[in-house]
């Protein structure tokens, strides 16, 4: 399964740009699912549909700097979207279902981030029935307009019909984002047929209900209102677009090879290696845009993102990831300084930075144990130092004959927050404000003993103990229950404040992970298993 696509290859979406307004039309091809054992009827979707949606969001940010509004609508009469395809879910492995939900969550959060970071507002135009994941897609938009035709409704029918939860943050967005009253949200989430018309507007399930006769006209008017003005950091119709080209990686049973990022496998352990830049940053943002697809900073982020997705979906048995880097730390720090200097004034440089922010969040959320090895030839400085902080442990070789060091940059001081809204250093030193302040105030590199004393690495074995200590740590990790490790890591990685984003991944994903294995949902007589059949599900009524 590959995660790159391009507009000419879309099977499920039509995409058009007219001035500052982009229109994304959903018209899912029934017979073009990723597997032949289900049909994508009623604009229901599978991972392939969402891969295309994620590509649209990514390309909007880079290729259409003049767009101010994205209208998401349906090209199918009387149906907006029926949500995730139930037969696809019912016939998928547990691991696939969980990773599918995680990917769709990341894509919807990407829509919200696009509005916050690029000023591209999103408008969901519900011209037909909008159920389950379809309504969750609408909830991720800035505004929802519902057609009032006597039939069109919004619904989250997963609990009453399938015995599972809405899988893409729907419950959280109802009460956290749209501030729907808890009692009304309870009624809405247990009524399979949903809510329509004026009641949907009164309950704040949608922003506006418009008669069918004026629906398309109103959507166009509202999109024009939302699209007034220029975007931040020079995003406007005169800005030169950056067209993203294919990465062209090599994939086989032994791993993945890209230009700057590679993955090699050894049983259930993978080694992820990132290469730093082999030259200085460009002279200015214009030169960066001219070389965009070969630009190290952007390409490395895209390559790492691709490898992380490949690991999730294509290599589920890989449980431990060894993170390594190669390169010249001084060159990497020069790139960090270049991006930090221009990110707040140049839209393209800012987009490159945001690409790293999204990719590192995906790394945080990956169900893999991650150990960073800081060895001779490493360049864990600045941006790449975030890789050690995203991991679960870091080992730094203390060998005077082969010195290594780590160093901070502006990248570690704010622009790459986690899902909890804090930097990884802030999260690391949550209860140690003095230690955090000392680390941020430190100038220049740390050697191994200084780094361990400062708390910025886990341990710094000497050259005598290094090989055995690292080997034993990796072997021990590989011997532990992958289920327990996934839960443990998710609990430990997100210390600090709770946000809507951490609720979606921490609460929803954890509960859905559990519910997807319960007989009430997926047993022989479970609600998800029997969906579409004449039999009624048989529940174990014990509450646990």
What's the pLDDT tens digit per position in 343-364? 999 999 999 999 999 999 999 9
> pLDDT-derived band of residue 487, with 50, 70 and 90 as boundaries?
confident
CA distance linking residue 298 with residue 296, whole number of Å: 6
Is pLDDT of 247 > 90?
yes
> pLDDT-derived band of residue 281, with 50, 70 and 90 as boundaries?
very high
Residue 223 is predicted with a pLDDT of 97
Residue 295 is predicted with a pLDDT of 97
The pTM of the full predicted model, rounded to 2 decimals, is 0.96
Average pLDDT, the chain: 95
Residue 514 is predicted with a pLDDT of 85
> pLDDT-derived band of residue 280, with 50, 70 and 90 as boundaries?
very high
Tokens of 108: 């919807």
Half-sphere exposure of 263 (CA within 13 A, CB side): 28
User: Do residues 328 and 379 touch, judged by C-beta distance below 8 A?
Assistant: yes
- Max CA-CA distance within the chain? 79
Return phi, psi of residue 26, to 5°: -90, 120
Residue 300 is predicted with a pLDDT of 98
Tokens of 25: 């039309």
Q: What is the pLDDT of residues 521-536, one digit of tens each?
A: 999 999 999 998 899 9
Domain ranges of the chain: 7-227, 251-492
Residue 511 is predicted with a pLDDT of 80
Is pLDDT of 253 > 80?
yes
> pLDDT-derived band of residue 11, with 50, 70 and 90 as boundaries?
very high
Q: How many CB atoms lie within 10 A of CB 78?
A: 13
Q: How many CB atoms lie within 10 A of CB 294?
A: 10
Residue 506 is predicted with a pLDDT of 82
> pLDDT-derived band of residue 456, with 50, 70 and 90 as boundaries?
very high
Q: List CB contacts of 296: < 8 A, sequence separation 6 or more.
A: 260, 276, 277, 278, 279, 335
C-alpha pair distances (Å), 197 with each of 76, 146, 152, 194, 208:
20, 8, 8, 11, 9
**Residue 148 forms beta bridges with which residues?**
211
Residue 507 is predicted with a pLDDT of 77
Tokens of 143: 């505004």
Range with the poorest average pLDDT among 80-94, 215-229, 510-524 = 510-524
Arithmetic mean of pLDDT, 168-195? 96
| Cα torsion through 456, 457, 458, 463, rounded to 10 | -150
Is pLDDT of 516 > 90?
no
> pLDDT-derived band of residue 229, with 50, 70 and 90 as boundaries?
confident
Is pLDDT of 450 > 90?
yes
> pLDDT-derived band of residue 512, with 50, 70 and 90 as boundaries?
confident
CATH 1.10.1520.10 is held by the domain 251-492: no
Arithmetic mean of pLDDT, 98-105? 93
Q: List CB contacts of 207: < 8 A, sequence separation 6 or more.
A: 143, 144, 145, 201
Residue 324 is predicted with a pLDDT of 98
Arithmetic mean of pLDDT, 450-457? 97
Arithmetic mean of pLDDT, 277-286? 96
Is pLDDT of 508 > 80?
no
Range with the poorest average pLDDT among 26-30, 182-186, 362-366, 507-511 = 507-511
Residue 413 is predicted with a pLDDT of 97
Residue 544 is predicted with a pLDDT of 78
Q: What sign does the CA torsion over 5, 7, 11, 16 have? A: positive
Q: List CB contacts of 520: < 8 A, sequence separation 6 or more.
A: 163, 526, 527, 537, 539, 540
Let me know if the fold of 7-227 is the same as that of 251-492: yes
Q: How big is the chain, counted in residues? A: 544
Arithmetic mean of pLDDT, 372-394? 97
> pLDDT-derived band of residue 491, with 50, 70 and 90 as boundaries?
confident
CATH 3.30.420.40 is held by the domain 7-227: no
**Residue 393 forms beta bridges with which residues?**
371
Q: What is the pLDDT of residues 21-78, one digit of tens each?
A: 999 999 999 999 999 999 999 999 999 999 999 999 999 999 999 999 999 999 999 9
């Amino acid at each position: 399964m590959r995660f790159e696509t391009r507009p000419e290859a879309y099977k499920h979406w039509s995409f058009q740009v007219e001035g500052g307004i982009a229109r994304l039309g959903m018209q899912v091809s029934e017979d073009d699912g990723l597997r032949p054992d289900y049909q994508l009827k009623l604009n229901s979707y599978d991972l392939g549909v969402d891969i295309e949606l994620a590509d649209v969001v990514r390309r909007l940010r880079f290729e259409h700097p003049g767009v101010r509004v994205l209208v998401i609508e349906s090209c199918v009469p009387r149906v907006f979207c029926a949500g995730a395809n139930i037969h696809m879910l019912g016939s998928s492995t547990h691991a696939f279902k969980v990773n599918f939900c995680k990917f769709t969550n990341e894509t919807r959060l990407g829509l919200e981030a696009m509005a916050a970071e690029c000023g591209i507002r999103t408008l969901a135009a519900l011209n037909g029935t909008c159920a389950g994941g379809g309504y969750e897609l609408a909830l991720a938009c800035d505004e929802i307009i519902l057609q009032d035709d006597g039939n069109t409704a919004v619904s989250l029918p997963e609990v009453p019909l399938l015995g599972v939860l809405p899988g893409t943050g729907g419950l959280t967005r109802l009460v956290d984002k749209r501030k729907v009253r808890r009692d009304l949200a309870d009624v809405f989430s247990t009524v399979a047929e949903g809510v329509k018309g004026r009641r949907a507007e009164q309950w704040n399930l949608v922003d506006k209900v418009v008669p069918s006769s004026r629906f398309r006209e109103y959507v166009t008017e509202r999109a024009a209102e939302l699209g007034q003005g220029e975007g931040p950091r020079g995003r406007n119709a005169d800005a030169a677009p950056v067209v993203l080209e294919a990465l062209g990686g090599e994939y086989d049973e032994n791993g993945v090879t890209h230009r700057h990022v590679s993955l090699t496998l050894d049983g259930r352990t993978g080694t992820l290696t990132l290469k730093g830049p082999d030259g200085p940053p460009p002279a200015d943002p214009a030169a960066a845009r001219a070389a965009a697809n070969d630009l190290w900073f952007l390409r490395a982020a895209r390559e790492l993102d691709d490898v992380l997705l490949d690991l999730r979906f294509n290599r589920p048995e890989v449980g431990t990831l060894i993170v390594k880097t190669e390169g010249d730390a001084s060159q990497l720090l020069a790139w960090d300084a270049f991006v930090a200097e221009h990110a707040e004034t140049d839209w393209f440089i800012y987009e490159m930075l945001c690409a790293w922010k999204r990719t590192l969040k995906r790394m945080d959320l990956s169900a893999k144990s991650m150990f960073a090895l800081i060895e001779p030839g490493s360049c864990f400085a600045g941006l790449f130092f975030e890789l050690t902080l995203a991991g679960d442990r870091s080992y730094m070789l203390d060998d005077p004959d082969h010195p290594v060091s780590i160093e901070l940059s502006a990248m570690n001081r704010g622009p790459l927050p986690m899902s909890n809204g804090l930097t990884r250093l802030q999260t690391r030193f949550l209860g140690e404000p003095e230690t955090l302040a000392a680390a941020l105030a430190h100038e220049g590199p740390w050697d191994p003993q200084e780094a361990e004393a400062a708390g910025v690495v886990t341990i710094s074995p000497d050259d005598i103990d290094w090989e055995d200590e690292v080997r034993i740590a990796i072997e021990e990790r590989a011997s532990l229950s992958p289920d327990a490790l996934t839960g443990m890591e998710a609990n430990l990685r997100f210390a600090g404040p709770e946000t809507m984003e951490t609720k979606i991944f921490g609460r929803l994903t954890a509960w859905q992970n559990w519910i997807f294995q319960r007989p009430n949902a997926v047993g022989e007589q479970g609600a998800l298993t029997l969906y579409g059949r004449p039999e009624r599900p048989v529940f174990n009524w014990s509450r646990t």
